[in-house]
Amino acid sequence: MRLDFSYKQTWLHQINPSFKFILIVILFIHILFIHNINVMINYMAAAFILYVAFTGHPWKRLLIISIPFVLLFVTSSASMIFFGQGENTWLKWGLVHITEESFLRGLHLGFRGIIFATLGVVFSLTTRPVYLFYSFMQQLKLKPKYAYSFMAAFRLIPIMIEELQILSYALKVRGVQHQKGVAGFFKKLQSYSIPLLSQSIRRAHRIAVAMEAKHFSATTKRTFYYQIGFSKFDILFVMYFAVVIPASYLLAIHFPYFPVTDVRFQ
């Protein structure tokens, strides 16, 4: 059964992939230096606007993808909330020590993780891998032999999954049964890994020979099937965060959610 991953093209899809990648990395670094939980909440709201309104995917799919965001928030914030440090104690029971400061630091850490995840998903949902590597070659001067190798690896993933299914069906048809326990696990691992590894080695060798015959390792200038350039949407992407980031700080000053400007333990 083929899965339907259709989506609508938005302006985020039109942004130069390497430019989008570099800008998101810069945003990741900037987020690491934000210690005001009010700014972080506003920042997170801006990232969610991009995720919900401009990725072009159906809301049901976006809802399913966002389920791990909740798990990320809970797991990243719980340890800081339950075992943090602070002066205003809310609950102390054995090793569990919840304070006002640890609660705010835990929320701050959880919001930071959600922003990382949201921006990363926005990038992955609005960027085609082929265009990304073509942009790396054209704008960032990545050597074609590396870029095309990565693209070939992406194309091989569905083939490897299909081979794994065929191998599983073949073992069932032959009546191969593995014993339970650790020994059975390693026996099953051997039954699957050796055929798949041998097939992967032969396929990798054929690809390497083909790339060598096409002179992918040469230093001569190559032509590209896709010409990736810049457009007005790159400026729009920069302007979005040029407005969002100062607005996040201004709203945090005039309309704070919590009366704390720095969650770090003093």
Q: How far apart are the first and last CA of the chain?
A: 56
Q: Are residues 16 and 79 in the same domain?
A: yes
> Mind listing the pLDDT tens digit for each residue in 39-89?
999 999 999 999 999 999 999 999 999 998 888 888 888 888 887 777 778
Confidence of residue 233 (pLDDT cuts 50, 70, 90): very high
Confidence of residue 220 (pLDDT cuts 50, 70, 90): low
Residue 225 lies in a domain: no
Query: What are the tokens at 109?
Result: 């850490």
Q: What angle do CA 187, 193, 194 make, to 5 degrees?
A: 95
Residue 174's alpha-carbon distances to 98, 140, 187, in angstroms, are: 58, 51, 16
* Structure confidence at residue 217 (pLDDT): 63
Q: Are residues 118 and 16 in the same domain?
A: yes
Q: How many domains does the chain have?
A: 2
Task: Evaluate if residue 3 carries a pLDDT over 60.
Answer: no
Q: Are residues 170 and 237 in the same domain?
A: no
Q: Are residues 209 and 236 in the same domain?
A: no
> Mind listing the pLDDT tens digit for each residue in 198-219?
887 888 778 777 777 766 665 6
Residue 158 lies in a domain: yes
Mean local confidence (pLDDT), 134-143: 88
Q: Are residues 87 and 205 in the same domain?
A: no
Helix axes 100-125, 37-53, angle to 10 degrees: 30
Residue 261 lies in a domain: no
**Are the C-beta atoms of 30 and 246 separated by less than 8 Å?**
no
Residues spanned by the domain of 187: 144-213
Residue 159 lies in a domain: yes
* Structure confidence at residue 51 (pLDDT): 95
Single-letter residue type at 152:
A
Dihedral sign from CA coordinates of 183, 189, 191, 197: negative
Residue 180 lies in a domain: yes
Task: Evaluate if residue 94 carries a pLDDT over 80.
Answer: no
Instruction: Record the pTM.
Output: 0.79
Residue 213's alpha-carbon distances to 93, 105, 127, 143, in angstroms, are: 69, 57, 30, 16
Q: Are residues 121 and 157 in the same domain?
A: no
Single-letter residue type at 12:
L
